[in-house]
Amino acid sequence: MAIVEINFDGIVGPSHNYSGLSLGNIASTTNKGAIAFPRAAALQGVEKMRRNLALGLNQGVFLPHPRPNREWLAALGTDPDTVPDSLRQTAFSASAMWAANAATVSPAPDTADGRCHLTVANLRTMAHRSHEWPGTLAQLEIAFADERHFAVHPPIPPTFGDEGAANHMRLGARHESPGVEVFVHGVRGGPFPARQHVEACRAIARLHGLDPDRTLFVAQSEAAIAAGAFHNDVVAVANENVLFAHEQAFEDRPDFYAALKRRLPELEIVEVPASAISLEDAIRSYLFNAQLVTLPEGVMALVVPEEARETPAVWNWLEQMVEGNGPIRRLIVVDVRQSMANGGGPACLRLRVAADPATIDPRFLVDEIRLDRISACIEAHWPEQIAPPDLADPALTQAVEKARAALCRTLELPELI
């Protein structure tokens, strides 16, 4: 089998709007009520995927979920025409675009049965995200239906909050041998909730059949959560033998680093000191919500948002980093401003899966031609702009539903998923 790393990006949905529903997400709450541009947002996401393909990376997609979520509204005794204002924005949420929260993924070399395991995130902490998992599960069960190579698990019971790969890191050899899997959970977050619970992390590790000696459970720092790092991927990212993290990312940093180095002697830690880049600047620029990738030529690159280049302290530090002899040698800047304004950077938009592409439903994999078709569909059907009050307009409901149906037809996927 030709096992490679594939980035599955969420296509930004036609109901993309700024309703400020995510407590603890500074960008989301700051931009509450602003006008959003779904068409531009989705096209920015497609261009990001094109950039990945041009770099020689493998690319897949997940569809936006049906919005408004009629099934969820029906379970609450209402529908898009009669929904109370308090539920309307939640029913229209396009947050499934952030595929990093879709699931937690353990590649085949790490699991007891030698299959790639995926556990769908329950996202129970935030109401607008808590109804995503059925749609996510439906797509994963189609994309990864080959049970010889994949095991797709339903979400952890909602007693324990799980927000997916945004709180999970895998370090080690790319695909050939077992790695070290790190689950990052929250304990406290000052005024904000800790969304990832340690019991959810432990349950996923058991379900995936991970080796306890190569699995670590680490607490995210209270300071990071309180500053707006609602997921670990806002303050840390890992790839192969490299951990790139802010000095204040983890609660018990020395013990965590020591435990990780014992299990992975070749580990390289690139740590950004708080004296150089504050938590506030790191979170505002989404420096760490970047894609840390290995290019085909073996060079490691960091894919960062434009906001990182526009934050002087961040960009100066990054330029010095790549000029040194460290493991990260290239900086690649992408424009995902519409996603950033709602609190999601380049890493939020994608879920990493290591697998043989031949074992995956090809309708979820893309090349330039398929991206051209997706772009044409977006150009033709996505609303140009949405302000939160527009969600009450029946014409918008109809337009959003027709847009998603058109995309399903474009990708030859059933509209019911």
Which residues carry out catalysis? Answer: 163, 231, 348
Distance between CA atoms of residues 78 and 74, nearest Å: 5
- Is the CA virtual torsion 251, 127, 97, 415 positive or negative? positive
Give the number of other Cβ atoms within 10 Å of residue 301's Cβ. Answer: 20
- Residue 376 tokens read as 């044409």
Question: Which has the closest alpha carbon to 17: 342, 336, 340, 284?
Answer: 342
Q: Which residue matches tokens 């029913």?
A: 91
Q: How far is CA 326 from the centre of its chain?
A: 26
Question: Which has the closest alpha carbon to 294: 366, 367, 241, 235?
Answer: 241
Distance between CA atoms of residues 207 and 239, nearest Å: 23
Per DSSP, which regions of 247-299 are E strands?
268-272, 291-294
DSSP per-residue string spanning 275-299:
TTS-HHHHHHHTSSSSEEEE-TTS-
- 152 phi, psi to nearest 5 deg: -105, 120
Helices (H) and strands (E) in the chain, counts: 15, 15
Decide: 289 and 346 in contact? Cβ < 8 Å: yes
Distance between CA atoms of residues 288 and 283, nearest Å: 8
Decide: 111 and 170 in contact? Cβ < 8 Å: no
Distance between CA atoms of residues 174 and 189, nearest Å: 33
Q: Which residues on adjacent β-strands are paired with residue 354?
A: 5
